[in-house]
Amino acid sequence: MKYNFDEIIDRKSTFAEKHAKLKELYGSSELIPLWVADMDFKVAQPIIDAMKDRIENGIFGYTMRPDSYFDDVCEFQKKRKNWNIDKKLMSSCLGVMPSICMIIQKLTNPGDKVIIQTPVYRPFFNAVKQASRELLESPLKEVDGRYYMNYEDLEEKAKQGAKYLILCSPHNPVGRVWSFDELKKLGDICLKYGIKVISDEIHSDLILWGNKHTPFASISEQLREITISCISATKTFNLAGLQSSIVIFPNEELKHQFDQMWDKLHVEGNNCMSIAAIQAAFRHGEEWLEQLLKYIEENVNFVKNYFDKYIPKIKVERPEGTYLMWLDCRQLGLNGGQLTRFMTSKAGVAMSSGTYFGSNGEGFMRMNVACPRAILEKALEQIRIAVSEL
């Protein structure tokens, strides 16, 4: 069926975080919210149908994830990424961030050094710091708006005794889909210095322009043995409110330790609606996903062309993956706080401040373009007028 991604759907009435927290975080609830990384699109019809069927059953008691759930995950990964996953090494969890936090807290030791590549998704910082592990920030290199891993710096950090690296692949917020060669080179450093990798691949189905995502654990058997991969259907199919994800371990011992931790907390994570929704997504969601990716590509082109033509002081490159655009606003001459205030109070648009992703995000803003184009048109027009009056 043909999906209509132009449809504007009310999200305020469903307490969507991007609306509900506007006043608290940005000072007004009337801003155009282009910050939280979820999509303003209705999900694939087979997901809605499966959830309706599940509701019709009428009983929502304690539930288990069937074996077929994990088969569906494996099949989807095999089909879209040619990645063979051993079902026995897979655990279900409440989300990618809860998984990463639990891995850091329970599978590393206090004081262990953990590398992240900045600018990067803010909760990575907190996951490390709140567990009293030491954060080692390896800044990405920016060349003409495109970001690259900084291997010299990574090796330097490795020599400082790093034990873990949290990889963001594809990378939020800069939109890079790391190539096989880039990941392999990173992997070589990790193997040389005995660094284990937590590979956050939550955006790995949101790949644009025919780019190719390489699962880090699929590069070689050696890398598989040092990698814990975190994936999820929730980002891909816009189901974040159902709180569910998958973790893939290199061996049964680590999986067992992880599972035991959740057991002790009495967290099953088997929300019955998420089972129905995610199985339907993996089995029947690809038609929607393909149309979604086309629509996001068109939105990206629309936004890029608009900035180039009407707001050239703000530079923007097309992301290779994700639905997030990284706006270089440095020419406006505003610092992080001033830039956010300018975008909210003068342009009426709420975006994530670049400094949220690390100090090298100063002067940047992250814009979520997974919304109907009419909303982007309005936001861009408001930004254009505000910049012209600056």
Ligand X SMILES: Cc1ncc(COP(=O)(O)O)c(C=O)c1O
Of 204, 216, 239, give the one whose Cα is nearest residue 320: 204
Q: Does 245 bind ligand X (CB under 6 A)?
A: yes
Q: Which of residues 110-139 bind ligand X (CB under 6 A)?
A: 121
3-state secondary structure at position 333: coil
Q: Which amino acid is at 10?
A: D
Q: Which of 108, 218, 234, 344 binds ligand X (CB under 6 A)?
A: 234
- Is there binding between residue 95 and ligand X (CB under 6 A)? yes
> Does 320 sit near ligand X (CB under 6 A)?
no
Print the binding letters for residues 143-182 with ligand X: x by CB under 6 A, - otherwise.
-------------------------x---x----------
HEC profile of 146-201: EEECCHHHHHHHHHCCEEEEEEECCCCCCCCCCCHHHHHHHHHHHHHHCCEEEEEC
Q: Which stretch binds ligand X (CB under 6 A): 93-101, 137-145, 266-274, 326-334?
A: 93-101
Q: What is the DSSP letter of 203?
A: T
Q: What are phi and psi of 156, to 5 degrees?
A: -60, -45
Q: Which of 43, 96, 246, 379 binds ligand X (CB under 6 A)?
A: 96
- Contact positions with ligand X (CB under 6 A) in 13-52: 37
CA-CA distance, 262 to 153, in Å (whole number)? Answer: 36
The stretch among 59-67, 89-97, 250-258, 364-372 that binds ligand X (CB under 6 A) is 89-97
Query: Toward ligand X, which CB reaches closer, 34 or 240?
Result: 240
Site for ligand X contains 232 (CB under 6 A): yes
Q: Is 115 helix (H, G, I), strand (E, B) or coil?
A: strand
Q: Which is nearer to ligand X, 92 or 279 (CB)?
A: 92
Q: For the stretch 338-358, what's the b/e string if a residue is b when 16 or more beta carbons lie within 10 angstroms of its beta carbon?
A: ebbebbbeebbbbbbbbbbbb
Beta pairing partners, 248: 90, 229
Please report whether residue 103 would count as binding ligand X according to CB under 6 A.
no
For the range 70-75, what are the long-range contacts, defined as Cβ-Cβ under 8 Å and sequence gap of 24 or more? 72/278, 72/279, 72/282, 72/283, 73/231, 73/233, 73/246, 73/282, 75/282
Residues numbered 186 to 205 that lie near ligand X (CB under 6 A) are: 200, 202
Query: In the bound complex, which residue of the shown chain has the CB atom lying closest to ligand X?
Result: 95
Residues 257-276 that bind ligand X (CB under 6 A): none
Q: How far is the CB of 96 from ligand X (least distance, A)?
A: 4
Residues that bind ligand X (CB under 6 A): 37, 95-97, 121, 168, 172, 200, 202, 232, 234, 240, 245
